[in-house]
Structure 1
Amino acid sequence: MNTTATEIAHQLAWIAVDWGSSNLRAWGLDKHDHVIAHASSEKGMLSLKAADYEAELHRLVADWLPESGQINVMVCGMAGARQGWREAAYLPVPTRLDQLSQGAVMPTLSNDRLRVYLLPGLSQTRSAFAHFDVMRGEETQLAGLVADNASFSGLACLPGTHAKWATLESGAVTEFTTYLTGELYQLLARQSVLQHSIGNDDLNDPACRNAFISAVSEIYEAPETLSSRLFGLRAQDLLDGRLPSGEKRGAVLAARLSGLAIGLELSGACHERANDASITLIGNQTLCHRYTLALNAVGYQTQYLDGDDAVLNGLRLAYRALKA
């Protein structure tokens, strides 16, 4: 953006913040909710104490602030966690996504230039698929999904280290389930016996893509075979002369491991669900493309919403509700 600091200060109406575990991102918006400034920092929850949040936020947005007056700041993510700035208690599902701001809390500030609202996460104590579950940050991305369609109903998946699957009915989250798929993959690939066989996959390569899709389909139909199929990756590395050599060998086995991990997730998340409705994927484009390949392999269609667009639209929705 080429907007000067003076122009930003003149136009700024409010600030949107996504505060994660490892970083934070801030957007300055005008009265029409258009982004006029953007800044980021690597000061996420894991590197801050509660007393540090205000100073870090002010450092990031100080140049945007007008000479007088108070600016509202809508914050989602880990700043509202118990170990964050101040806890914004989880809202139990079912929860309407256009009402997240009703659970917002306001930390006490030493600087009167900002008025900060920390949005809550969502909690679940029982569902058809799991008992206890929580999300914090993803609920705002889901709110972005309903920002332009308040009555949205359907199934949404937010891939990641801890993938979230949420059922929405008329703009409300009615239940959700978390899968540790990304973390499981990293543990197996880097800290198990498979570390001697697993490289870095590339789904643009036909051999990797075919290995990934095959693994998804296999484990989706027989999830009880996961443990044996995992060890089979190591044995395949030692015995299968059809595998390519060198780095490509490790890449193909990595693609197969990824397919097993994601296929296992799909077997739990959507095996009993009708496949006549599209599943909405929200997040990073590359990772969502991987999930699209996996879901297509087992008969599901997808639609995609960029994660950054979703979180910003969710924060816009929360701000509009706050003003109302």
Structure 2
Amino acid sequence: MGASELTRPLAWIAVDWGSSNLRAWAMDAQHHVMASASSPRGMLSLTPAEYEAELLGIVDDWLPDSGQTPVMVCGMAGARQGWQEAAYLATPTRLDQLSRGAVMPPLADPRLRVYLLPGLSQTGSTNHDYDVMRGEETQLAGLLADTSRFSGLVCLPGTHAKWARLTDGAVTEFATYLTGELYQLLAHQSVLKHSVGQDDLQHDGCRQAFTQAVKATYQAPERFSQRLFGVRAQDLLANTLPSGDARSAVLAAHLSGLTIGLELAGACHELTPGENVTLIGNEALSHRYALALETLGIDTQRVDGDTAVLAGLTLAYQSTRQ
């Protein structure tokens, strides 16, 4: 869809540029999406000199012949190995001020004005571990679209799940859990690879195995390693499990519950009675985490990941216009 084919004049472009792909949205003056495009080339497959051409490859048709279009970019394009480093902002950080840490890479095309948003960092101390995030802070900022002084505990499930405490619109602390990566390593590179397959929480057997494992690890996280080997032992000995693919699906659900339960044992230990958790992410992962949390009696509310990142990029764009 070219500029002449956009339904309204282009005001700015929103971009989420990750390690393995990039996504872009053409935005009008009211911050509505008019068109979208994507590329499979993320930070891991680009050199700094290739970013501008890759971006133009998917947004060039949107650009008017004259003038300069702002482009707000979050994610790994601003990493040290990316287009140009946008240094981390140290917590506590107000999420409506992310654009103040943005950097603007030099460009050959005069039609573009690119802002690379920063990530967040946390320096190790008595109460907090060293930690960083890049990209998730923009999704967190999206929560401020409806509640400018949002407060609460937020979880962004993923390969490296992020948990952030927000107070009056600022990130005061956060923590990263390698749960998704840990599950993949255990399921595909450990002895458990002989026992686990692909689970489906829509099936009662998988759902029950998952919730039981969440409870078990949450209540006794010190037994996590022991329970991991128990997955293999169940496969060898348990007569009550189904056979074939259904058996490996139940054991996969059990392993997933163990790893997520361990994460929740750390992330939720300071929740106050009655406090809920806001989940930001895709539907499948958010559903899995919601089920785990609700199993422990913790209520959740969900926000779509794309909706959150667009709202966060919009907030950053608006702050550059003030």
Shorter-chain-normalised TM-score: which range? over 0.9
TM-score of the aligned structures, taking structure 2 as reference length: 0.98
Shift in Å at residue 274 of structure 1? 1.6
1:183 corresponding residue in structure 2:
181
Deviation at 1:158, TM superposition (A): 0.1
Question: Does the Cα contact within 8 Å between 2:71 and 2:114 map onto a contact in 1?
Answer: yes
**Paired residue secondary structure (1:11):** coil
Q: Which amino acid aligns with 1:169?
A: T
Assess if the C-alpha contact under 8 Å between 2:3 and 2:64 holds in 1.
no
**Which amino acid in 1 is paired with 2:21?**
N
Structure 1 residue 148: deviation in Å?
A: 1.9
**Contact kept in structure 2, 1:147 and 1:317, CA below 8 Å:** yes
Give 2:91's aligned residue.
93
Matches of residues 248-263 of structure 1 in structure 2 within 5 Å? Answer: 248-263=246-261
Instruction: Please state if 1:122 is matched with 2:120.
Output: yes
Q: Distance in 2 between matches of 1:26 and 1:176?
A: 27
Counterpart contact for 1:107–1:116, Cα < 8 Å:
yes
Q: Helix, strand or coil for the counterpart of 1:173?
A: strand
1:78 to 70, 76, 79: 76
The aligned runs of 1:117-196 (5 Å cut-off) are: 117-126=115-124, 130-196=128-194
Q: Is the 8 A contact 2:121 2:132 kept in 1?
A: yes
Summarize deviations over 1:223-276 as a string: whole Å, max 9, x none.
Answer: 000010000110110000111001000000000000000000000000232241
Match of 1:319 in 2: 317
Alpha carbons 1:9, 1:65 under 8 Å: kept: no
Counterpart for residue 227 of structure 1? 225
Query: Residues of 1 paired with 2:221 and 2:2: CA distance?
Result: 56
> Is 2:264 the counterpart of 1:280?
no
Pick which of 208-217 and 265-274 moved more. Answer: 265-274
**Unaligned regions of 5+ residues in structure 2, if any?**
none
One-letter amino acid of the counterpart of residue 14, structure 1: W
Q: Is the 8 A contact 2:15 2:74 kept in 1?
A: yes
Are the aligned partners of 1:275 and 1:299 in contact in 2 as well (CA < 8 Å)?
Answer: no
Matched, 1:298 2:311: no
SS at match of 2:24: strand
Superposed CA deviations along residues 162-213 of structure 1, whole A, max 9, x for unmatched, are 0000000000000000000000000000000000000000000000000000
Question: What SS is found at the alignment partner of 2:270?
Answer: coil
Rounded Cα–Cα distance in structure 1 between residues aligned with 2:126 and 2:146: 29
Give the distance between the partners of 2:203 and 2:109, measured in 1 at CA.
54
CA distances 1:84-130 after superposition (whole Å, capped 9, x unpaired): 00000000000000000000000001111100000000000136654
Q: 2:266 aligns with which of 253, 265, 268?
A: 268
CA distance in 1, matches of 2:255, 2:273: 25
- Partner of residue 203, structure 1: 201
Structure 1: distance between partners of 2:165 and 2:270:
14
Contact 1:9 1:66 in 2 (8 A): no
Distance 1:43 1:272 in 2: 40
Asked if 1 retains the 8 angstrom alpha-carbon contact of 2:23 and 2:39, the reply is yes
- 1:9 Cα deviation (Å)? 8.6
Where 1:25 maps in the other structure, the secondary structure is: strand
Matched pairs, number: 322
